[in-house]
Structure 1
Amino acid sequence: MSSLPLHTSPAEPTAAPQLSGWPLLRLGFRPFYVGAAAFALLSIPLWVAVYLGQWNLAMALPPLLWHAHEMLFGFAVAVILGFLLTAVKAWTGLATPRGAALGALALLWLAARVAAVTGPYTLYAALDLALLPLVAAMLTRLLLRARNRRNLPLAAMLMLLALANGVFHLGLIGVLDVSPLAPLYAALALIVMIECVIAGRVIPAFTMSATPGLKLKVRAPVERAALALTALALLLWVFAPAEAGWNMLGGFTLVLAALAQVGRLLQWQPAITRHRPILWILHLSYAWIPVGLALLAAARFGVLSMSAGVHALAIGATGGLIIGMMTRTARGHTGRALQVSRAEIAAYVLVMLAAALRVLLPLAMPLWLPLALVLSATGWAAAFAIYLFIYTPWLLKTRFDGKDG
């Protein structure tokens, strides 16, 4: 992956490109960011209402599995695909899907989300399973054509996500003797690893570019150790049997991975970003990764439930990194300054509060879980409502500087 910021292309075009088509479909981040933010706004309050018995909705799959699956393969995957469909163009100089082709991909994603709550299960599963392999194949072809082998692992991770999704559906209908939760945990682990890879490239680069004279000393052994230990720890978390010996091994590996991730984050000097919200949201969100790993270790040792670690990684790390990257990359790719407003800062704070309330409040007061769900869902929904209010008009229009993209 290039160390260049996402919104910088490898070379300046010799002539200004001719703008054509609906701006929403000119680059991958546009439809997928709008769709993901709208889905985040609507789905979490819906899930809390269903969970608390305030809404009886006939879904294609059980409500708990719908919530877990759709936050991974609906929300997070949409942002990942929007990011990669945009980034691969910058990394390779080759065109990624736009216009009708991009619109078809976005509609396929949307159709699966709608079918989950309206259609028969077979239709939902067919739509849901189609998108990831399709985009992974497209991106792999472009990366190979450009001989950009360094980023092929990201395309491979998309295929692994597609595999996890397939196992989920086969387990759900009984074709495979697998708990549907296992492939969902595998999907969360893969998403965390994607975050670790991308964050390691962009967070130090963004931090240095915004801090004159700063030269971060990012030591390769620390980076490799953090990634390797995290991958091993998550692998054991997903696949190791729930037996005493495996629990101890998995727990200690998760602790080591958490410590390695703290060391990695400290190399990026997070304290220096405290006056730059567009940066501190990335650092603070990344800090939820070691927190989540430590909480998963506690679950392996039998001290806590698995839920705390899962939600630390899903809301704090994934949700936080998503809101941070969705603002930064959308600003860059619409030709706007990389300086967020008070409303966007409020969105950052709300996502972090949503994570803290969902993870920490039930740990302190288990009987307050319903309150934690309502408060966390309110903060989460408000954050993405702010994003939609600010960014939807920008994403529906041509870039502020008149360029293509």
Structure 2
Amino acid sequence: MLQPEVLSKELSIMPFFRLAFRPFFLLPVLLSILSLIVWLAVINGAITWKGGIAVNNWHGHEMVFGFAASIVIGFLLTAAQTWTGVRSIHGWNLALLVLCWLVARIAFISNSPAILIIGMIAQLIWWAVSVAYLSYMLIKSNNGRNLVFIPLLLLLATLNATMLYASITYNISFASHLAYLAVLMITAVVTILGGRVIPFFTTRALNLPAINAKLFLERFMAIVMALTIACFALSYWFNLSVVLPVLFLIAGACQIARMANWRTLSTLKTPLLWSLHFAYLNMGIGYVALGSSYYFNVISFSAALHIITVGTIGTMTLAMMSRVSLGHTARSLQSNGWVNLSFAVLLIATLLRFILPLFNLSSLGYLLAGIGWALGFGIFLIYYTPILLKARTDGRSG
């Protein structure tokens, strides 16, 4: 049996534990596929759910926090090493972080209150270590520009803890509201990251002049987004049905207007770029649809929200993971036909999830969108698992 010191050294050179993007891309993607299959099987009567958390709350939690937030953490802990020059979490420490994540995933399917509490503790430890390590890297390098992510992540962690408590105590409606709120919080992260990386990737890849942000629009959009998310949070207790839909519509219009000079049409021949652009566009469309849901009964809030969850968060994570997995393993930033297909399948899933419920075909929309998600991310697993399990092609660590 290996001694702890020897085991630590071995783990530090295992490719899978060299940087956070490797485990926190592969494992959340696998989780999203499995949890979606289970949820679809339960709501269609194929299996009986015996967990201690209501199945819809479990589905929402695992897709928002087990999947989306985990990939955000994996990306930030990886990108921060490039931003700061400080070595990110790796080796034994990263392995223990992954173990906390896995304990939480397993615990949340239990019906034992004690095990559910253990899962909650593991989830919060995962948050604490992740945010603390990211903060350490940014503060040590005096990287003030990216400190904005710390309060956003702390808010997400707080939402996660509160949602878990509500779920465990069977406060189903409040837990659902918190899941929706967490989705909107993730759009705030996407707004910051997308506004930085999408124009940069576009101009760099296509050798175009730099894209300059419109300062007034950026500030106005930030204010409107913050007000929208805050008002939605309060809408659980207060009737804000007059102001909230207007804020959703304005926020969506701002997101779409922001893209006006991003040269989206120039990216149509480059899947690793157009996928990012269309994912961001879906966020603007999703916010407009959320606002419209207050005025038109045919549009449900849930269907509108899934333009964001599938079309923005799903497509954005798929595109970013595809790009980062290639770049951080020193491979060429070129996708193949199968990867390109995965982007298209996810966009089709977005359309089906929103359009079919408009025609009272909600169940079919859930099923086809779920199949599309499983296919899109299944392609990612098949293509990228060997890459993420192998060392960089240039022999460097990471």
Work out whether the TM-score is over 0.5. Answer: yes
5 Å matches for 1:311-326?
311-326=306-321
Deviation at 1:124, TM superposition (A): 2.3
Q: Which among 17, 42, 49 is matched to residue 25 of structure 1?
A: 17
Matched, 1:330 2:322: no
Instruction: Give the structure 2 partner of residue 377 of structure 1.
Output: 370
Instruction: Give the structure 1 partner of residue 59 of structure 2.
Output: 67
Matched, 1:400 2:393: yes
C-alpha contact (below 8 Å) 1:247/1:301 kept by paired residues: no
**Aligned counterparts of 1:276 and 1:170: Cα–Cα separation in 2:** 44
Matched, 1:77 2:69: yes
Q: Which among 174, 184, 196 is matched to residue 201 of structure 1?
A: 196
TM-score if structure 1 supplies the norm length?
A: 0.90
C-alpha contact (below 8 Å) 1:60/1:124 kept by paired residues: no
Counterpart of 1:285, as a letter, is: A
**Aligned counterparts of 2:241 and 2:294: Cα–Cα separation in 1:** 5
**Aligned counterparts of 1:313 and 1:292: Cα–Cα separation in 2:** 5
What SS is found at the alignment partner of 1:295?
helix
Matched, 1:104 2:96: yes
**Aligned counterparts of 1:81 and 1:241: Cα–Cα separation in 2:** 28
Counterpart of 1:260, as a letter, is: C
Instruction: Give the structure 2 partner of residue 305 of structure 1.
Output: 300
Counterpart of 1:307, as a letter, is: S
1:246-284 deviation digits (Å, cap 9, x = unpaired): 212111111111111111012212111011100000000
Instruction: Give the structure 2 partner of residue 126 of structure 1.
Output: 121
C-alpha contact (below 8 Å) 1:233/1:253 kept by paired residues: yes
**Aligned counterparts of 1:360 and 1:176: Cα–Cα separation in 2:** 30
Deviation at 1:242, TM superposition (A): 7.2
C-alpha contact (below 8 Å) 1:292/1:308 kept by paired residues: no
**Aligned counterparts of 2:177 and 2:345: Cα–Cα separation in 1:** 30
Deviation at 1:358, TM superposition (A): 0.8
5 Å matches for 1:142-181?
142-174=137-169, 179-181=174-176
1:109-162 deviation digits (Å, cap 9, x = unpaired): 122112112463222222222211221112112211111121111122111111
Counterpart of 1:28, as a letter, is: A
5 Å matches for 1:43-54?
43-54=35-46
**Alpha-carbon distance change, 371 to 176 in structure 1, aligned in 2, over 3 angstroms:** closer
* CA RMSD, 1 decimal: 1.9
**Alpha-carbon distance change, 240 to 90 in structure 1, aligned in 2, over 3 angstroms:** same
**Alpha-carbon distance change, 192 to 91 in structure 1, aligned in 2, over 3 angstroms:** same
Counterpart of 1:372, as a letter, is: G
Matched, 1:136 2:128: no
**Aligned counterparts of 2:173 and 2:157: Cα–Cα separation in 1:** 16
Query: Which is bigger in relative contact order (C-alpha 8 A, separation at least 6)?
Result: 1
What SS is found at the alignment partner of 1:180?
helix
**Aligned counterparts of 2:62 and 2:15: Cα–Cα separation in 1:** 27
1:160-187 deviation digits (Å, cap 9, x = unpaired): 1111112112333559998112222221
C-alpha contact (below 8 Å) 1:296/1:306 kept by paired residues: yes
Counterpart of 1:39, as a letter, is: L
C-alpha contact (below 8 Å) 2:256/2:285 kept by paired residues: no
**Alpha-carbon distance change, 148 to 175 in structure 1, aligned in 2, over 3 angstroms:** farther
Q: Which among 320, 345, 348 is matched to residue 343 of structure 2?
A: 348
1:292-318 deviation digits (Å, cap 9, x = unpaired): 111111223353321122211111110
Which has the higher mean CA deviation after the structures are superposed, 294-303 or 264-273? 294-303
**Alpha-carbon distance change, 228 to 323 in structure 1, aligned in 2, over 3 angstroms:** same
**Aligned counterparts of 2:174 and 2:198: Cα–Cα separation in 1:** 36
What SS is found at the alignment partner of 1:55?
coil
**Aligned counterparts of 1:20 and 1:72: Cα–Cα separation in 2:** 29
What SS is found at the alignment partner of 1:29?
coil
User: Gapped runs of 5+ residues in structure 1?
Assistant: 1-18
What SS is found at the alignment partner of 1:179?
helix
5 Å matches for 1:213-224?
213-224=208-219
Matched, 1:260 2:260: no
5 Å matches for 1:186-197?
186-197=181-192
**Aligned counterparts of 1:360 and 1:242: Cα–Cα separation in 2:** 30
Size of the alignment, in residue pairs?
Answer: 384
Matched, 1:276 2:270: yes
Matched-pair identity in %: 32
Counterpart of 2:393, as a letter, is: F
TM-score if structure 2 supplies the norm length?
A: 0.92
What SS is found at the alignment partner of 1:339?
coil
**Alpha-carbon distance change, 176 to 71 in structure 1, aligned in 2, over 3 angstroms:** closer
Counterpart of 1:297, as a letter, is: G
Matched, 1:90 2:82: yes
